[in-house]
A and B are shown apart, each in its own frame.
Chain A
Amino acid sequence: MSKPLKQIHLAAHFPGVNNTTVWSDPEAGSHIEFSSFAHFARTAERAKFDFLFLAEGLRLREQGGEIYDLDVVGRPDTFTVLAALAAVTERLGLTGTINSTFNEPYEVARQFASLDHLSDGRAAWNVVTSWDAFTGENFRRGGFLPQEHRYSRAKEFLATVTELVDSWHGDEILADQATGAFLRDAKAGSFVHTGQHFDIHGQFNVPRSPQGRPVIFQAGDSDEGREFAAAGADAIFSRYATLDGGREFYADVKNRLAKYGRRKDQLLILPAASFVLADTDAEAEDLAKQVRRQQVSGATALKHLEFVWNRDLSGYDPEGPLPDIDPDLGESHIARGRAQVRMYRDPLATAREWRELAAARGWSIRDLVIETGNRQNFVGSPETVARTINEYVQADASDGFILVPHITPTGLDAFADQVVPLLQEQGVFRADYEGTTLRDHLGLAHPDSAGQDQRAAS
C-alpha cells in the first residue's frame, strides 16, 4: 500500500531588500506603501496559504564604506505591518522576523502576544540572532555580544519569552460585573527568570492569547542552529530548496527531534523558494533568463564578487574576465550588514574555483554571478511547477515552501491563480482553510494541550 500523500504547506515572503527583487520592472510597485502589503496578503489568503512572511533589517547595508544603493533599500517595521494586515485578512498567518539581540524579552513577548490577540491567533515569530557591532550602532546595547554567545542569548531569550507568555494560563480573567471580580488571581502573570543573559521578575501584562504562544520559526543552518530548532521550534525557514540538498537537510533535522521527545510532524521544514511561470516550459526558461539578467546588473555582479575578494573591484569590467588578484584575506571589511558574506568561508578556494569555471565556460564576471548565484527554484508552466513542488514535498525534500516572488506586490498573483488550483486538484493542497489559527493551518497542536501531554508524561 502506498504512503498517503503529504499535504503541502505554502507561504509567501514579501519580496524586499536583496537582488531577487526586480525593482526596475515596469510592473514593480512600492515596497513601503501599505497597499502593496495589503495586495500581497490578500493574494496569499485568496490562495489559502498558511502565512505571510516578513524579513527584518536593522541597519542599511553598506559596501566600500557607502550605503548600498543597487537593490531595494528600506522597509517598514515588522510588527506594525503585521498588525495592520490583520485588519485586511481573516485567516492568513502573520510571521515576522524579530531579532533577539537588540530587543528585550518583556517587550517582544507583549508585542507577539498582542499581535496574536489582535489577529485572533495568527502570529508567528521567526527568531534570529545578530551580534555585529555594525548593527549595534543603532541600539543602546551597541555591539556588546561576542559571536559565541549569540545562540546562548537566543535560546535564553526564547525561553524567557515562553515563560512570559505562559505566565497567564488563560482562566484568570473573570470580568464578572455582578460580583466585581475582574481577575481570579492577583498573581496573574507572575514570573521570575534568572539566567546568564536576563535577570528579570514581576508580572507580565498581556493575558494569554488565542494561540497561547506565537508559532516559532527558526532560520539558522549551523549545527547549533539545527539543534536549537529541533529542541523547540515549530518550523524551520531553510535555504535548501533543491531536491537533494533539501532531502539531506530534512532528514538531518527531523532525525534530531527524537532526542527532545518530539515527533517528526512537530517541526515543519519550509525552504524559501523562487519561481518563474509562463504558458510553456520553454517560455518560462526564456523568461527566467531575462529575470536573472535583471537581477544581476554589471554593477551588481562586481559588488557580489567583492563579498569574496574583500576588495574594491569597481575598476573591473563586469563583461570581462574575473580578477587575477587574490582576495584580501584580512578581516572582512568591504561589505557590511549582509548575510551572504559569511557564506564564503574560504575566499581563496572560492576565487580559484570561480576563475577556473569562468575560464572553462567563457563566462564574464556577470555571467559567473548569474550562473552561480541563486537560481530560480521552480521554472516552467503551471503544470510543471505544480508537479515539481509536489514531487519535492512527497520526496521529503521539505514540507512545503515559502515562495519569494521577484515582483512587488503582484508577483504572487499568477501562482495563486494558476498553480494553486492544480495542487488542489491533485488533493495535496487545501481547498479552503479548515481552522482559524496559524497552528490550525500548520497542523500544530495548541501549546496548552501539548503542555498537558508533557506534564502527564513527566
Chain B
Amino acid sequence: MSNLRTTQLQDIQNMLEQQGYITDKSVAMSVFLSLQLNKPLLVEGPAGVGKTEIAKVMANALKTDLIRLQCYEGLDATHALYEWNYQRQLLHLKMTEHDSHSVDEKEKTIFSDAFLMKRPLLQAITHHQKPVLLIDEIDRSDEEFESFLLEMLSDWQITIPEIGTMKATFIPQVILTSNRTRELSEALRRRCLYLYIDYPDFEKEWLIVKNRVPGVDAKLGAQITRFMQELRLLKLEKTPGIAETIDWAVALSVLHVDHLDKTTIEQTLGVVLKEWRDTRQVQMSLSELMEKTKIHSKFDSP
C-alpha cells in the first residue's frame, strides 16, 4: 500500500488497463482520489457500464481481497454484519452439559469467534489486510439499511453487544454502486466521492471489445460496436450496456461469423435485448438501423 502515495493519475489508469479495464480520465481520477483520501466512492450509471467491475479490478490491482455485499430489499444488519450460529451454540451447550464450568464461562465460550458468523461488513473490518469492499446496488436496500451504513462508513467500527466494539484494523477501500432506482440520501452522498459512468463512446467501446474478446474479427467488432451505439439511441425499455456488447461479440465469434447481416442480427438479437417489446421494436426498425450503421447484407445490395 505504501507505494500508492507516489502513484500518479497515469499510473492508476495503466494499472486499471493492465487488469483489462479500459477507462477514461474521470474514472482514473475518481479511483486515484478515493485511494489517496481513503474515502468511499459512489459510482452511479445505467446497468452494464462496468460499475461493479471497478471494484473487482481495484482488488486485483491492489492484490487484495474483494468483499462483496449485494444489496436487496429487506437486507438488514444481521445479513450484512454478523449473526450468531445458534445451532452450534445449542449443540455446544448440550455437549458440555455435564462439565463443571460456571455459567459465566459457558457464556463466554458460546459468544466467541468460533460461533460468530461474519457477514461482509464485519469481514471487511476485521480483514487481515486492506480489502476492497463492494457494496453493490445500494439503491435496492431500504432506507433503514442506508442509515445503518452511515454509521459504519464514518466510524469504521461495529458494536456487537456480547463482545464489544470492533474497530477496523484496516479501513477498507469502499466502492458503492447504484442504478439510481431510488434516490440515495444526502447524508450517504456526502460521505462519498462521486462518479457517474455513462455508456462509452465508439472508440472506448471498441477498445473494450478488442480487449475483452481478443479473438474477434476486426471488421465484425467494429460493426457490432457501431450497431450498439445506434441501438442505444433508440427508446428501449432496457438499454443494453457494455456487458451485452461483449456477450454479443463473444457469441458471434464463437459462431465464426465475420460480418453482420440482417439474418445474423435477427437470430442473435436475444443476446443483446432482454425485453420482447424491445426486440420487436428493433426488428421493425432494423433496416433503418443497418442503414445508419452502414451494414449491408449481401442479399440486400447486388
A and B interact physically = no
